[in-house]
Structure 1
Amino acid sequence: MATTAPPKRPLIERLPRWLRGPLGPLLEYPQLLLISIATVLVMAGQGVISPVLPLFAAKFGVGSAAIGLTLSSFALARLLLNIPLGLLSDRYGRRLLLVSGPLVTGIGMVGSGFAVGIVDLLAWRFVAGAGSAMYMTGAQIYLTDISNPTNRARFIGTNQGALLLGVSVGPAVGGVLAEFWGLRAPFIVTGIAALFAMVHAYFKIPETRHLALAQIEAERKPSIPGAPAPVAPRREWLRFATSRDFVAISFVVMAIFLTRTAGKQTLMPLYAAENLHMSPGVLGAVFTVMALINVVLLAPAAVIADRYGRKWSIVPSSLVVAVSMFMLASASGYPMFLAGALVHALGASLAGPAPAAYTADIAPANLRGLAMGMFRTSGDVGFMIGPPLLGALADATSFGWGLAANGVIMAAACLWFLVIARETVGRGPAKQPAVAKV
């Protein structure tokens, strides 16, 4: 007598419990997996050049302030294009940005690798920043299209994990490429990775603009037949933008991005190379370990933010990062530098998705898109002004004083948020409804 084999359990149920949290969304929702693959490819390229970009720029005989501009020009493109690209996506669709973004990034990276002077490098970095803005804006809108309010943070957090994974595998590769084939090689490899992301997006990622159009049409219908459609109160966006909570979180986000680009990506490599004589390969390995710590602690950080509140993540994280900057500023050898780098990675990991979650908590329902756009702009301001500002300070004094000033800015943002901002209580886990079908 034939026996019927028992049905196989879904793959997610066969995973160890500790893997279900980070991998569950990817296995449950194919659309999320597709965008996460593209994010890994794009961000791996960004990670490849992170430890060598300051060293490459320094070869042109410029100071720390000019070296910092290589990051600021990248951020300036994002700052200028975030809103126009969002409007472009609303009119012509998400795939336009998701496909052309990696292409433009690849062109900018390859051009950077062939730069013959600092002006050339700054121009190509602006092009690469434009491509990054195109992809990241398209990805954020895509994630919003395929999710709903009960699972949107989970989706964004998963894509953030993909972003961190891409960044984590890049620095070690960049360091090895630079040591064996020169400082131009990482830029060429980054361009190739971006082209792979473009091909993947073109063939695998579907258009989702119709989902947004359907939601907009549904929201325009009044809840009571015959009643006028709801209209957002005038100046509500201004009240939100000037509220104490949003101003406080904007200061924190600006300080986080300033620290990321000025402290970590500009002053740390220069300090290690010039004061400690650290090779690109060793520096790349240090950056890789820091990024891997961020990946590992992303899920626990999200749990802390949801279970105990956003401030329990944001405030300790900011304080620990500030302490790490002071440790790096006083490092006179490898042990203190490595300890400062480890403390920095732990502190940066504590925040996780908490700043974005806090912004979503305080945003009015009808202003969520604008709120998240303003949130990203706050980060891009810090991204842009940090490297030249602290680079100029380092030129006038020393790398140590530049890192210490970074610590002061981070501590000030932390204390401001602690005193001014209100706590928002995280909600418990909710049953996840099905994702909108593309």
Structure 2
Amino acid sequence: MGAARPPGDRRAAVPARAGALDGRPGAGAEERDPAVRRAHPRGPRRGRPRHGGGRGTRRRGPARVLPLRPPVRRATGRSVTTPTSTVTTDRLWRAPYVVTVVATSLVFVAVGVTIPLLPFVVLDRLGGTELAVGLVFGASALSAVLCRPALGWLGDVRGRRLLLVVGTVVTAAGLWGHLVAANVSALVLARLVLGLGQAAVMVAAATLALDLAPAGRRGEASSYLFLAVNGGIGTGPAVGQQLASHGEATAWFGAASLCLVAGVLALFLPRPPRADTGGEALVPVRPSYGAALRTGTLAGLGTLGFAGFLAFVPLYADDLDLTATWAVFLLASGTVVTVRIVGARVPDRLGARTVARTSFGAIATGFGVMALWGTVPGLLVGTVVMAGGMGLLVPSLVLHATSGVSAGEETRRMSTFTLFLDLAAALGPSLLGLVAVRASYGQAFLGCAAAALLGLVLLLRWVPARSSTAPGPAAEPA
């Protein structure tokens, strides 16, 4: 056993027994903590006599080691690599994270209110066509895609909290525009405003969730955040139909009010501390987008069909004489919620590739069931299977896209990744509407299954078998 150290001594303890790991008896602090670097990483030289052994040997004191200094993260032009993380027991559900999840959920409940109402607004109130329905749905994603670079820069420079508050206000303005729109062109303009606000909320909330997550639980934090998104979109249609029963204006006013409440909650988010740089100045960041572009493409292919499903399932259900359209949305939302709650830590434990591979397979199978079994039971069964795949697809890909991200780059990396989700939201309804007009909904669902299979092929090519789940840097100002 090493000699006693005076208080405040920063030297690492010498292990009582070499090779002890994982907290077994005799393990030293430098062996349990991978961040600690020992003076002699290869251990004692072979053949050297132990302390007190043999005649003529000089008794040695405790081995001297280098002073401990925690690893420092600096903003650089390249990503910072860290050791693979393990799931920890640090608390995730602290007040700032809860506020972020609740505010995000309220905004996307408001967005979900538009889903069952918008097709009938276009067809009945404004006299549009099914193709116009797809274009109106996709307009919000177009503005979200175009503004993503600016939103990523704003989040990194001005803070995620400001971005979240501004996004809720802009989203409320876009929802109010749905009520006052007198023609399809005005409705498209309102959807463009809605898309801008929705993108700001998504980028800010997704980055805040990663900022506030303990080490080794970033995948779990992302799962619950996207659970709030999908849960809001899934429950929003039921809320919208209930509000619309009291008048269309009530539905739009109620949706806008939810966004404003979310904005008020976001004002109470604290400012997280700056990352410790060890006294060294941060240098300008040149973001690296390779991982975000690849994983964003995968996420876009996986969510392409889901976006079209949300847009046209009211019309498809009407063709099947299913009047309770809200039940389909609740079924999809409930499946996503269940999968994400039960499997919240699965991406952290199994890695992005394994989880995403299973998710792509389930999505393709679900849409195949809808296409080949064109009945109400087929729609319900296919919805469960497809939504089960959607449950963990995006959280697992977020974990891969943000692994090893350098300080000052977080929001821009997340902005690039989520840009592809907006592209899928724009192209999914438009492509599905085009195929539905020229062929049938069954053919459109087959196209969605083909997109998921393409994503599976690219996943096996782009994501390594043991993808890193290393934690990102410490939180920057929100």
TM-score (norm 2): 0.72
Alignment-derived partner of residue 62 in structure 2: none
Aligned residue identity for 1:25: L
Aligned counterparts of 1:22 and 1:149: Cα–Cα separation in 2: 9
For 1:411, the aligned partner's letter is: L
1:301–1:351: 8 Å Cα contact kept in structure 2? Answer: no
1:221 to 276, 280, 297: 280
CA distance in 1, matches of 2:408, 2:461: 28
Is residue 2:255 matched to residue 1:190? yes
Superposition pairs of residues 23-422 of structure 1, within 5 angstroms: 25-26=92-93, 29-59=94-124, 60-147=126-213, 149-178=215-244, 180-182=245-247, 185-202=250-267, 204-208=268-272, 211=273, 214-215=274-275, 218=277, 221=280, 237=288, 241=290, 248-262=294-308, 264-273=309-318, 275-279=319-323, 282-351=324-393, 353-361=395-403, 368-422=410-464
Distance 2:154 2:411 in 1: 15
CA drift of 1:166 comes to 2.8
Q: Displaced runs of 4+ in structure 1, greater than 6 A?
A: 229-232, 433-438
Tell me, what secondary structure is at the counterpart of 1:50? helix
CA deviation vs aligned residue, 1:193-225 (integer Å, no higher than 9, x gap): 1122122223x22345xx3xx33x827817xxx
Higher helix share: 1
1:196 counterpart letter in structure 2: V
Q: Which whole-Å CA distance do the structure 2 matches of 1:300 and 1:176 have between them?
A: 30
Deviation string 1:242-280 (CA, Å, 9 cap, x unpaired) is xxx666533321112322212x1123222112x21322x
- Name which of structure 1's ranges 137-146 and 291-300 shifts more when overlaid on structure 2: 137-146
Query: What is the rounded CA distance, in whole Å, between the counterparts of 2:146 and 2:127 in structure 1?
Result: 29
CA contact (8 A) 2:203 2:415 kept: no
Contact preservation (8 Å) 1:325, 1:403: yes
State the distance in 1 between where 2:180 and 2:298 align: 36
CA RMSD of aligned residues (A): 3.4
Equivalent pair of 1:326/1:407 in contact (CA under 8 Å): yes
Question: What secondary structure is seen at the aligned counterpart in 2 of 1:423?
Answer: coil
The residue identity in structure 2 corresponding to 1:199 is: V
Residue aligning to 1:225:
none
TM-score (norm 1): 0.78
Measured after TM superposition, the shift of residue 105 of structure 1 is 0.9
Conservation of the 8 A alpha-carbon contact between 1:361 and 1:424: no
Offset at residue 294 of structure 1 (A): 0.9
Q: After superposing the two structures, state which structure 1 stretch, 189-198 or 162-171, moved more.
A: 162-171
Whichever residue aligns with residue 446 of structure 2, its letter is A
Q: Which runs of 5+ in 1 are unaligned?
A: 1-20, 223-228
CA apart distance, 1:352: 5.3
| Cα distance, 1:44 vs structure 2 | 1.6
Task: Determine what percentage of the aligned residue pairs are the same residue.
Answer: 25
Aligned equivalents of 2:302, 2:241: Cα separation in 1: 25
Structure 2: unaligned runs, 5 residues or longer: 1-87
User: CA shift at 1:126, angstroms?
Assistant: 1.0
Would you say how many aligned residue pairs link Structure 1 and Structure 2? 390
